[in-house]
Structure 1
């Protein structure tokens, strides 16, 4: 039986429990495929509403990207509000912006409501890695405050960023005071336990091998079958070939994180006294934060092959030491990777394939909050409230050129080009 991938999160997981494998035939209202943020949130919100819900997870709850990521939750999308207006009009753009704000509040509310022990900590800071990025960041802050009326973000100049992060490498930043960061595996485990408390049924080690749609879809595993009224595909980067039209919308990529040994208090108080989560403005983003027990959790570096690097610790540590040379002598206790999914427009692919078949995937690095919210959106859609799903569907969401077979070469070439730009002054 598969366990969670070895990581700092796995080593400090709370609320882990064994769940059965699907055996035999079952009939329910809703079948959810995937036990990450999207799936567990959907199960929770649907069970709360009184539906019979079965969730099928191929491995264990939180085994994929939901249990391995950087843990940052922040308002906003990868696409700017102004660009969304050009594509879908102001009303839909306003609604999409609001989903990002609501998603952060939803995570906080769920943590409080279900007493999920996941180290919720306030503050997210996006920093300018190059001087030329500073004006764009300042303009984005001004837009959010003056056009969107959102006052939870403010611009910090280079000196203010240096005071927060103990380094003079950055040229400014946007500080989201209402943003936050969490232990993501403990959060998704808490969602699963909450869903079960409302009557949802969760099966682990139950990979779906095929499904049939129609008025009563059937979802089939090696040892069981679920007949239902609605299906939600919530597999993200681990979808594989299960759903061809959905798979063509996303590109699975790998990202990597390290955790140092616990750092001395004097180092912690100098490099991040406010314990904010940080992401830089490079195309291949560095993102980092301090854990509750004073470890530096640093994410950096991507690859686009099915294999992880042989030495993840060295692969990632070089990025950390570029910013904080003083951390070079500290031991790396944990190093791990995970697979996420990106879309061509870097916006979530949330859609209805049929009236009773939904897909939510491709969060492109914004998955902690948005995936949680997408699960609740699906629950509302089942109950007849389709406004938010429709808003995401209006955004043009193109297939990757070449489909699932030929998407890799173009992506790798593009990523190598932009990573080269990251290295230029």
Structure 2
């Protein structure tokens, strides 16, 4: 039996998002045996996207969540709608060839479009705003952004605009950056309220959600897969596993493919209008181009939400606020002493190639995982592709499932030290500007 990964009663951990979440209905745990057409495990973005697409197509869907909707990364992330995968189109082309590069290029804007469509169609109140800025600290960062814009334009994507130092001041009130690029089809929002809105939309389409129902085991080889919890079971025609970093020991063959990595965030006290205008005048969200990056944005109530740092294997620094304050002061020295109201962390699933993984276990079990820190758009897009496959159209699913995945060198014992050494090397390159 896998060890529980939901501490306490599975309530939301303390965060700015949990403190400002919309009210949600009581969703009782799974009780007794249930028979359905499709069962989805995990009520984060991947599971919600899959379930909602299927419900809209008329399928009977039961969604099982170990804690609460959006409890994991989907309710704790930076809230940034960043188009593309963690692995760049250039790296995908170099590693897998031109055909795979062209296929992925046709997908990279889809996740953000799905989010905006959902928000508009279901009137989801999640403070969605436009604009995502990539900030360059070194000349190599600028060259990478120029190459990215050129490559994306080759595939007909004209949403990226390069920014010189002066133009960057129109987006970020800081002298730290020498230039950058804005994605006009990026943006940001309140991630937990987006998840809660998608859950309500799914239920409005006839879907059923059972919270506080950690999965103990799954039978992936049966013709009709079976999901078992402490108090019930679901037998289904098709099963979709969307646990990502929080799947635990339910599926060892999936868990060993990825590594949990923590990222840390904090939210300041509300800024004055003058302070907000000074630090982020265009109200776009920002991430810098370093390997271990800073990312930040303004919330709807003018707090600066600032994130960064990593904990390979899922651990956290001893002093999250102290670490983030130091990082924030390098960007905005005038905010060095500002009050911080919320500090939190969460885990994402890192794949060795930084490319998400999609595939089957057995004949009727589907999965997607390993977004590697770019899960907001990727999970929404993958949810649509998973739903297409369950519905009977496997063209895009089969193409992505055929992309090879690579294990971490040395297996689970060595994946953390190996990745830490790699991160140290790339961080050194960032510091040296090479």
TM-score (structure 2 length as normaliser): 0.94
Aligned partner of 2:185 in structure 1 is: 178
How far apart, in 2, do the equivalents of 1:386 and 1:173 lie?
Answer: 38
Aligned partner of 2:206 in structure 1 is: 199
Verify: 1:56 aligned to 2:64, yes or no: yes
Aligned partner of 1:408 in structure 2 is: 416
Residues 102-140 of structure 1, C-alpha deviation per residue, up to 9 Å, x if partnerless?
111111000000000000100001111212221121121
What does 1:275-314 correspond to in 2, within 5 Å? 275-314=283-322
Structure 1 position 378, deviation (Å): 1.0
How far apart, in 2, do the equivalents of 1:394 and 1:84 lie?
Answer: 14
Verify: 1:70 aligned to 2:78, yes or no: yes
How far apart, in 1, do the equivalents of 2:46 and 2:423 lie?
Answer: 27
What does 1:225-304 correspond to in 2, within 5 Å? 225-304=233-312
How far apart, in 1, do the equivalents of 2:214 and 2:41 lie?
Answer: 9
Aligned partner of 2:51 in structure 1 is: 43
How far apart, in 2, do the equivalents of 1:307 and 1:284 lie?
Answer: 15
What does 1:213-228 correspond to in 2, within 5 Å? 213=220, 214-228=222-236
Verify: 1:356 aligned to 2:364, yes or no: yes
How far apart, in 2, do the equivalents of 1:143 and 1:46 lie?
Answer: 34
Kept after mapping to 2: 8 A contact 1:40/1:188: yes
Question: Which consecutive unaligned segments of at least 5 residues does structure 2 have?
Answer: 1-8
Structure 1 position 404, deviation (Å): 3.1
Aligned partner of 2:3 in structure 1 is: none
How far apart, in 2, do the equivalents of 1:362 and 1:305 lie?
Answer: 14
Residues 309-329 of structure 1, C-alpha deviation per residue, up to 9 Å, x if partnerless?
343211211111111110112
Residues 373-395 of structure 1, C-alpha deviation per residue, up to 9 Å, x if partnerless?
21121111011211222222232
Aligned partner of 1:127 in structure 2 is: 135
Counterpart among 195, 206, 217 of residue 210 in structure 1: 217
Kept after mapping to 2: 8 A contact 1:152/1:178: yes
Matched position secondary structure for 2:87: coil
> Could you tell which deviates more after superposition, 413-422 or 267-276?
413-422
How far apart, in 1, do the equivalents of 2:184 and 2:317 lie?
Answer: 35
What does 1:137-148 correspond to in 2, within 5 Å? 137-145=145-153, 147-148=154-155
Matched position secondary structure for 1:301: strand
Kept after mapping to 2: 8 A contact 1:88/1:394: no
How far apart, in 2, do the equivalents of 1:172 and 1:142 lie?
Answer: 17
How far apart, in 2, do the equivalents of 1:375 and 1:309 lie?
Answer: 32
Structure 1 position 286, deviation (Å): 0.7
Matched position secondary structure for 2:63: strand
Residues 193-219 of structure 1, C-alpha deviation per residue, up to 9 Å, x if partnerless?
111111111101101111112211111
Kept after mapping to 2: 8 A contact 1:348/1:392: no
How far apart, in 2, do the equivalents of 1:424 and 1:294 lie?
Answer: 34
Alignment size in residue pairs:
424
Kept after mapping to 2: 8 A contact 1:38/1:372: yes
Aligned partner of 1:160 in structure 2 is: 167
How far apart, in 2, do the equivalents of 1:56 and 1:31 lie?
Answer: 7
Aligned partner of 1:80 in structure 2 is: 88
Structure 1 position 305, deviation (Å): 4.6
Matched position secondary structure for 2:181: strand
Cα 1:165/1:186, change in 2 over 3 Å: same
What does 1:104-123 correspond to in 2, within 5 Å? 104-123=112-131
Over the residues paired in the alignment, what is the CA RMSD in angstroms?
A: 1.5
Cα 1:106/1:306, change in 2 over 3 Å: closer
Kept after mapping to 1: 8 A contact 2:85/2:378: no
Structure 1 position 142, deviation (Å): 2.1
> Could you tell which deviates more after superposition, 211-220 or 332-341?
211-220
Aligned partner of 2:196 in structure 1 is: 189
- After the TM superposition, list the runs of 4 or more consecutive aligned residues in structure 1 that deviate by more than 6 angstroms: none
Structure 1 position 86, deviation (Å): 4.0
